Structure 1
Amino acid sequence: MRRRSIGVCILLSIVTCGIYGLYWFICLTDESNAVAGEQGTSGGMALLLSIVTCGIYYFYWSYKLGEKMDKARTYNNVAPGSLGIVFLLLSIFGLGIITYALAQNEINKYATVL
């Protein structure tokens, strides 16, 4: 797990017309599993499920990503929030890139701790 610059990730996602966003999705999934100490769905499988279900799985993934971030907060003695709901609402309203940025921010906090 490594720290990523959120601005660079967003810029690369825009410049590559979303190709880097797919890679970032996979990395976020794998790293959120590591931060939360879970053996959840791998990043590649989550991407495949999102494609096969025409994006429906993506909403579930967004919610679970927030739940994993809350779990990581609990492990690190930080008060958990309702990130699952926040991430789900952002995704529903088409603001998934903000979900990615917020999740990466949480992962960056704990990348130095682990």
Structure 2
Amino acid sequence: MPQPQYTYDGPIGRPRSTGTCILLTVVTLGFYTWYWFYVVHDEMKRHTGNGIGGGLGLVLGILLAPVLYFLTPYEVEAMYQRKGWQSPVSALTGLWALLLGWACFAGLIVWFVQTNNAVNAYWRNLGAEG
């Protein structure tokens, strides 16, 4: 992999099983998604020093979740780009959630699988286990 293009690297985040996250979302009637937005944005902010962080991620998740459908993959993409890596997601990944998500949840599932897998791959590329 290419050498890092910047010097700040905070703590590495924790990969989360996509299947377990989906199951927890169903069991908690969607409340797990608020936790997921909080921890993912918190980890990204602590790692890079940039981004919205967990608190604002949680607030947006509760009040304006569709904003996070674009913002979360955008921040993931930015992490990849800082390392000089090709990101598997971008802000446009949010279109899956908006175009197909509300009608049948298929778009939300596609969005989540792509975004969570990209976050997990990033952490694993830095040595995280799980």
Q: TM-score, normalised by structure 1?
A: 0.74
Specify the SS of the correspondent of 2:50. Answer: coil
Q: What residue is the counterpart of 1:48 in the other structure?
A: 59
Change (3 A) 1:68 1:50: closer
Which TM-score applies when normalising by structure 2? 0.66
Partner of 1:84: 91
Correspondences of 1:34-73 after superposition (within 5 Å): 34=46, 37-52=48-63, 55=64, 58-73=65-80
Q: Deviations over 1:5-37 (max 9, x none)?
A: 1001001100111111211121222233345x2
Q: SS where residue 40 of structure 1 aligns?
A: coil
CA separation in 2, counterparts of 1:111 and 1:82?
15
- Structure 1: any 5+ residue segments left out of the alignment? none
**In 1, distance between residues paired with 2:74 and 2:49?**
11
Q: How many pairs does the alignment contain?
A: 108
RMSD, matched Cα: 2.4
Of all paired residues, the percent bearing the same amino acid is 27
Report deviation, 1:82: 5.9
